[in-house]
Chains A and B, each alone.
Chain A
Amino acid sequence: MGKTLFEKIWEHHVVKEIPGGPAVLYIDRHFIHEVTSPQAFTGLQKRGIPVFRPAQTIATADHNVPTLNQHLPIKEELSRLQVEVLHTNCAAQGIALYGLGHPFQGIVHVIGPELGVTQPGMTIVCGDSHTSTHGAFGSIAFGIGTSEVEMVFASQCLLQSKPKLMRISVDGELSEGVSSKDIVLYILSQITAAGATGYAVEFAGSAIRSLSMEARMTICNMSIEMGARCGMIAPDETTFSYIKGRQFAPGGEAWEPALAKWKKLFSDDDAAFDKEYTFRAEDIEPMITWGTNPGMGIAVNAPIPVPNGTEEKTAFEKSLAYMGFEAGESLLGKKVDYVFIGSCTNSRLEDLRLVAEFVKGKKKADGVEVWIVPGSRKVEAQARAEGIDKIFEKAGFQLRQPGCSACLGMNEDKIPAGKYCVSTSNRNFEGRQGAGARTLLASPLTAAAAAVTGVITDVRTLLTQKTETAEAFA
Chain B
Amino acid sequence: MNPVKIIQSRFVPLPAENVDTDQIIPARFLKATTRDGFGKNLFRDWRYENNDDTKPKAGFPLNNPAYSGEILVAGKNFGCGSSREHAAWALQDYGFKAVVSSFYADIFRNNALNNGVLPVQVSDAFLQEIFAQGADTELVIDLEAQTISIPATGKSESFDINSYKKTCLLNGYDDIDYLLSMLPEVEAFEKQPR
Whether A15 contacts B164 by the Cβ 8 Å rule is: no
Contact with B along A13-51 (1 / 0, CB 8 A): 001101011101010000000011011001100010100
Say yes or no for A148: interface residue by CB 8 A criterion: yes
Taken together as a complex, chains A and B put the C-alpha atoms of A442 and B105 apart, in Å, by 24
> Taking A21-B162, A155-B186 as contacts, is the C-beta distance between A227 and B32 under 8 angstroms?
no
Residues of B within 8 A of A159 (CB): 164, 175, 178-179
6 A–B pairs (Cβ distance < 8 Å), ordered by A: A35-B30, A39-B85, A42-B33, A194-B18, A409-B27, A435-B50
> Taking A143-B107, A150-B176, A430-B45 as contacts, is the C-beta distance between A20 and B162 under 8 angstroms?
yes
Q: Which residue of chain A is the closest to B194 with respect to CB atoms? A: A12
Whether B185 contacts A15 by the Cβ 8 Å rule is: yes
Of A74-82, A248-256, A331-339, A346-354, the one with at least 4 CB within 8 A of chain B: A74-82
A234 to chain B, nearest CB (A): 19
A423 to chain B, nearest CB (A): 14
Say yes or no for A380: interface residue by CB 8 A criterion: no
Whether A427 contacts B115 by the Cβ 8 Å rule is: no
Whether A193 contacts B22 by the Cβ 8 Å rule is: no
Whether B163 contacts A229 by the Cβ 8 Å rule is: no
Say yes or no for A115: interface residue by CB 8 A criterion: no
Residues of B within 8 A of A408 (CB): 22, 27, 82
Taken together as a complex, chains A and B put the C-alpha atoms of A458 and B159 apart, in Å, by 48
Whether B162 contacts A161 by the Cβ 8 Å rule is: yes
Residues of A within 8 A of B179 (CB): 24, 151, 154-155, 157, 159
Of B3-11, B55-63, B73-81, B146-154, the one with at least 4 CB within 8 A of chain A: B73-81
Whether B182 contacts A15 by the Cβ 8 Å rule is: yes
Residues of A within 8 A of B20 (CB): 293, 427, 429
Taken together as a complex, chains A and B put the C-alpha atoms of A429 and B17 apart, in Å, by 12
Residues of A within 8 A of B16 (CB): 318
Q: Which residue of chain B is the closest to A143 with respect to CB atoms? A: B83
Whether B182 contacts A427 by the Cβ 8 Å rule is: no
Whether B83 contacts A432 by the Cβ 8 Å rule is: no
Whether B83 contacts A193 by the Cβ 8 Å rule is: no
Taken together as a complex, chains A and B put the C-alpha atoms of A410 and B82 apart, in Å, by 13
Whether B189 contacts A26 by the Cβ 8 Å rule is: yes
Whether A39 contacts B33 by the Cβ 8 Å rule is: yes
Interface residues of A toward B: which range? 35 or more
> Taking A21-B164, A36-B83, A410-B28 as contacts, is the C-beta distance between A148 and B114 under 8 angstroms?
yes
> Taking A21-B163, A157-B179, A429-B22 as contacts, is the C-beta distance between A64 and B31 under 8 angstroms?
yes
Whether A154 contacts B106 by the Cβ 8 Å rule is: no
Whether A78 contacts B103 by the Cβ 8 Å rule is: no
Which residues of B69-113 are within 8 A (CB) of A?
Answer: 76-77, 80-86, 88, 103-107, 110-111
Q: Which residue of chain B is the closest to A436 with respect to CB atoms? A: B45
Whether B33 contacts A81 by the Cβ 8 Å rule is: yes
Taken together as a complex, chains A and B put the C-alpha atoms of A431 and B26 apart, in Å, by 8
Contact with B along A195-210 (1 / 0, CB 8 A): 0011000000000000
Whether B81 contacts A410 by the Cβ 8 Å rule is: no
Whether A293 contacts B182 by the Cβ 8 Å rule is: no
Which residues of B161-194 are within 8 A (CB) of A?
Answer: 162-165, 174-176, 178-180, 182-183, 185-186, 189-190, 194
Residues of A within 8 A of B26 (CB): 431, 435
Residues of A within 8 A of B35 (CB): 39, 42, 146
Contact with B along A136-170 (1 / 0, CB 8 A): 00000011111110110011110101010000000
Whether B22 contacts A21 by the Cβ 8 Å rule is: no
B42 to chain A, nearest CB (A): 14
Say yes or no for A128: interface residue by CB 8 A criterion: yes
Q: Which residue of chain B is the closest to A28 with respect to CB atoms? A: B194
Whether A145 contacts B88 by the Cβ 8 Å rule is: yes
Q: Which residue of chain B is the closest to A149 with respect to CB atoms? A: B85
Whether A151 contacts B18 by the Cβ 8 Å rule is: no
B3 to chain A, nearest CB (A): 17
Say yes or no for B156: interface residue by CB 8 A criterion: no
Residues of A within 8 A of B34 (CB): 38-39, 42
Say yes or no for B68: interface residue by CB 8 A criterion: no
A66 to chain B, nearest CB (A): 13
Taken together as a complex, chains A and B put the C-alpha atoms of A396 and B189 apart, in Å, by 55
Say yes or no for A85: interface residue by CB 8 A criterion: yes
Say yes or no for A376: interface residue by CB 8 A criterion: no
Whether A18 contacts B164 by the Cβ 8 Å rule is: yes
Whether B182 contacts A16 by the Cβ 8 Å rule is: yes
